[in-house]
């Protein structure tokens, strides 16, 4: 029994990321072949058969430093019929005053002020009430939407009536520090590949809340954005799919985003993602108890495996550390040396291959992106441990949070070095 | 719509960080690559020996026990191959859907349905959608009330 345990744990810690890396790579490449091969280039959207009107929602909380730039980019969106709705979620800075000033400047901008800070989910709900059109695009209050993103979103909705939501392609703007450059590769190698593979499979774990699009009807069927969760985007994604709609990735719908460039900011962000993701999969599990949701179950199981992997890997590292202390003989768990050898080296090579494949796919959006491969050395050495730590801490916090209702309010995140 | 134009320039922020930070980042990342190279040293040396003259044979390196390595990796490779076959099946299955250019569209959400879900009457909703600037209250149950058209000049709204 002990021997079996001692062979299964290292096998799982190696096998899970190794096997999934090949799955994501194949999914990414197949998505390019099946979906992207005959597609127009990202900067050259074709003429659509119709241009249904679109409402763009921008929830803002203390975004005084960013909103002018955000709405200037939105006003330059190349789409014939759209409105912009700025939602000021009880900001304590000058966001409200700037939005009013911008409303006078941009004819198609309307502003909804929330009397008190309610959080992103309720801000989006309020924005959706004010929105006049069926198709909603949502971006964050510090993100710049590409001028063709709306056209790409609408084109995809017109091509598939079963689509309830689309997730766009967030591209990182701030690349001044090591952490910023590292995340450029991560968004491509991990986020982009996973979303491509999940689109082929027909079930997506999450839309990127920073750039996504919805049919109002799908939002209504999913129960609108809920303040009871930390990650409104994961929660909404699952509820829309449970309601019977599909969700897909539209890589040509670009949005330029700001990411944390300090370790503390990155830690808080990843912890929130981990906690929110776990909260959603635990909360919604009972609603998935129907065989028509079998695809969701597989995505759910994969998420649980990733959390289990985090625990198994960190426990092995801890066991290795304890081996050098008087507590060593008391530890009955396989120890994993941080000095990667053998299987660990193979995992590193596999990750670097995965990063190369994804960056190659993303060269259509940024010609110079292959350069960031240099910074990817940190991913297997450091980022895996950071991700695993946030998963390990996020799970118990999410379980505790199930008994405590969320207030839904938010704090301004780290937005990098500017 | 403008067709065939150049893509918009990416709004990437490259703040002028101090030179010492850039040197530190590059040096540390070189160090990280050296560390990875050290972890992979045996495989790298094996490849080097195999591809140097005389090519396609090992001169000084000793070949690992390929049979033993395959025995340990076989299960993972087979599992990966199964998943690759699985996603290939779904790629073929979703081909028509992903390559479609047109599809019947679902009916839009009725304003009356939307209004009712937020505890409003349809006429209230229509009125709100005309306001250029408005201040509203929304509670945790998503019940919305309009405070006034325009902004209430308190701290909460800037």
Least confident of A233-237, A239-243, B7-11, B74-78: B7-11
Look at B117 and A202 and tell me if their CB atoms are within 8 Å.
no
* Residue A175 touches partner B, C-beta closer than 8 Å: yes
pLDDT tens, residue by residue, A86-132? 999 999 999 999 999 999 999 999 999 999 999 999 999 999 999 99
Q: Who among B17, B103, B144 is closest to A159 (CB)?
A: B103
Look at A26 and B87 and tell me if their CB atoms are within 8 Å.
yes
**Where does the pLDDT of residue A5 fall: very low under 50, low under 70, confident under 90, or very high at 90 and above?**
confident
SS3 at position B133:
strand
**Where does the pLDDT of residue A229 fall: very low under 50, low under 70, confident under 90, or very high at 90 and above?**
confident
Look at B1 and A78 and tell me if their CB atoms are within 8 Å.
yes
Task: Show residues of chain A in contact with B98, CB under 8 Å.
Answer: 34-35, 199-200, 248
For the segment A17-24, the average pLDDT, to the nearest whole number, is: 96
User: Of A19, A20, A28, which Cα lies nearest the Cα of A200?
Assistant: A28
For the segment A341-367, the average pLDDT, to the nearest whole number, is: 89
pLDDT of residue B56: 86
Q: Give dist(CA A258, CA A242) in Å, integer.
A: 31
Least confident of A180-194, A218-232, B25-39, B73-87: A180-194
What is the b/e burial string over B61-77, where b = at least 16 CB atoms within 10 angstroms of the residue's CB?
A: eeeeeeeeeeeebeebe
User: Of A286, A123, A23, A231, which Cα lies nearest the Cα of B157?
Assistant: A123
Report the residue count for chain A.
418
For the segment A48-68, the average pLDDT, to the nearest whole number, is: 96
Residue with the larger pLDDT of the pair B44 and A164 = A164
Tokens 């959207």 locate to A45
- pTM for the model: 0.92
pLDDT above 70 coverage of chain A, percent: 96
In the predicted model, what is the mean pLDDT of chain B?
Answer: 85
For testing the chain B interface, which of A150, A161, A176, A239 should be mutated: the one with the most B CBs within 10 Å?
A176
pLDDT greater than 70 at residue A411: no
ipTM of this predicted structure: 0.90
**Where does the pLDDT of residue A408 fall: very low under 50, low under 70, confident under 90, or very high at 90 and above?**
low
* Residue A243 touches partner B, C-beta closer than 8 Å: no
**Where does the pLDDT of residue A401 fall: very low under 50, low under 70, confident under 90, or very high at 90 and above?**
confident
pLDDT tens, residue by residue, B106-143? 999 999 999 998 888 899 888 889 999 999 999 888 88
List Cα–Cα distances, A245 to A152, A232, A269, A296, A347, in angstroms: 19, 17, 29, 12, 36
pLDDT of residue A340: 65
List Cα–Cα distances, B24 to A259, A371, B21, B107, in angstroms: 21, 18, 5, 57
pLDDT of residue B155: 40
For testing the chain A interface, which of B69, B94, B141 should be mutated: the one with the most A CBs within 10 Å?
B94
Q: Who among B99, B102, B129 is closest to A158 (CB)?
A: B102
For testing the chain B interface, which of A53, A96, A417 should be mutated: the one with the most B CBs within 10 Å?
A96
For the segment B71-89, the average pLDDT, to the nearest whole number, is: 96
- Per the CB < 8 A criterion, the answer to whether A192 and A358 are in contact is yes
Task: Show residues of chain A in contact with B39, CB under 8 Å.
Answer: 339-341, 344-345, 348
Look at A158 and B103 and tell me if their CB atoms are within 8 Å.
yes
Per-window interface: A 262-321 vs B, CB < 8 A: none
pLDDT above 90 coverage of chain A, percent: 72
Omega before A223 within 30 of 0, i.e. cis: no
Residues with Cβ within 8 Å of A369's Cβ and at least 6 positions away in sequence, in order, are A184, A188, A359, A362, A363
pLDDT of residue B8: 65
Q: Who among A19, A162, A378 is closest to B76 (CB)?
A: A19
What angle (nearest 5°) sits at the alpha carbon of residue A60, between those of residues B144 and A254? 115
Token pair, residue B120, equals 């409003």
pLDDT of residue B7: 53
Task: Show residues of chain A in contact with B1, CB under 8 Å.
Answer: 45, 47, 78, 80, 151
List Cα–Cα distances, A263 to A151, A391, B119, in angstroms: 36, 16, 43
List Cα–Cα distances, A87 to A102, A340, B152, in angstroms: 12, 49, 14
Residue with the larger pLDDT of the pair A338 and B53 = B53
pLDDT of residue A407: 59
């Amino acid at each position: 029994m002990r021997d079996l345990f001692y062979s299964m744990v290292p096998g799982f810690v190696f096998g899970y990321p190794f096997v999934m890396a090949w799955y994501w790579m194949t999914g990414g490449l197949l998505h390019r072949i099946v979906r992207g091969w005959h597609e127009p280039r990202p900067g050259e959207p074709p003429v659509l058969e119709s241009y249904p009107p679109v409402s763009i929602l921008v929830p803002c909380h203390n975004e005084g430093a960013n909103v002018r730039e955000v709405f200037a980019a939105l006003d330059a969106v190349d789409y014939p019929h759209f409105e912009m709705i700025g939602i000021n979620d009880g900001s304590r800075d000058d966001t409200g005053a700037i939005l009013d000033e911008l409303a006078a400047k941009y004819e198609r901008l309307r502003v909804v002020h929330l009397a008190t800070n309610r959080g992103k989910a309720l801000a989006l709900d309020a924005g959706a009430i004010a929105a006049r059109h069926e198709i909603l695009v949502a971006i964050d209050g510090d993100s710049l939407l590409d001028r063709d993103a709306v056209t790409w979103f609408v084109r995809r909705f017109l091509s598939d009536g079963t689509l309830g939501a689309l997730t766009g392609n967030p591209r990182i703007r701030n690349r001044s520090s090591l952490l910023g450059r590292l995340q450029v590769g991560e968004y491509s190698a991990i986020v982009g590949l996973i979303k491509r593979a999940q689109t082929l499979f027909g079930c997506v774990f999450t839309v990127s809340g920073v750039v996504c699009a919805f049919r109002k009807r799908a939002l209504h069927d999913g129960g609108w954005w809920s303040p009871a969760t930390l990650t409104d985007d994961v929660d909404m994604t699952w509820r829309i799919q449970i309601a019977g709609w599909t969700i897909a990735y539209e890589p040509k719908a670009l949005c330029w985003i700001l990411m944390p460039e300090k370790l503390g900011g990155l830690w808080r962000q990843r912890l929130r993602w981990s906690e929110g993701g776990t909260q959603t999969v635990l909360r919604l599990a009972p609603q998935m108890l129907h065989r028509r949701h079998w695809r969701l179950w597989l995505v759910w199981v994969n998420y649980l495996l990733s959390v289990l992997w985090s625990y198994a890997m960190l426990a092995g590292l801890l066991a290795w550390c304890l081996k050098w202390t008087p507590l060593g003989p008391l530890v009955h768990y396989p120890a994993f040396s941080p000095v990667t050898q053998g299987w660990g080296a193979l995992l590193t090579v596999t990750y670097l291959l995965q990063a190369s494949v994804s960056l190659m796919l993303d060269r259509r959006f940024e010609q110079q992106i292959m350069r960031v491969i240099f910074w990817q050395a940190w991913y297997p050495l450091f980022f895996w441990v950071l991700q695993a730590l946030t998963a390990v801490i996020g799970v118990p916090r999410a379980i505790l949070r199930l008994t405590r209702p969320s207030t839904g309010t938010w704090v301004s995140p780290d937005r990098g070095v500017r | 719509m403008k067709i065939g134009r150049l893509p918009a320039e990416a709004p990437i922020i490259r703040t002028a960080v101090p030179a010492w930070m850039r040197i530190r980042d590059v040096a540390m990342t070189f160090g990280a690559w050296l560390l990875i190279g050290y972890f992979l040293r045996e495989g790298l040396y094996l490849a080097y020996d195999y591809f140097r003259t005389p090519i396609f044979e090992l001169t000084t390196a000793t070949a690992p026990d390929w049979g033993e390595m395959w025995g340990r990796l076989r299960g993972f490779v087979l599992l990966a191959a199964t998943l690759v076959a699985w996603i290939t099946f779904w790629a073929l299955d979703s081909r028509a859907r992903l390559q479609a250019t047109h599809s019947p569209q679902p009916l839009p959400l009725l304003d009356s349905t939307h209004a009712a879900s937020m505890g409003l009457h349809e006429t209230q909703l229509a009125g709100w959608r005309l306001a250029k600037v408005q201040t509203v209250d929304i509670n945790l149950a998503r019940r919305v009330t309009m405070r006034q058209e325009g902004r209430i000049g308190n701290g909460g709204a800037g």
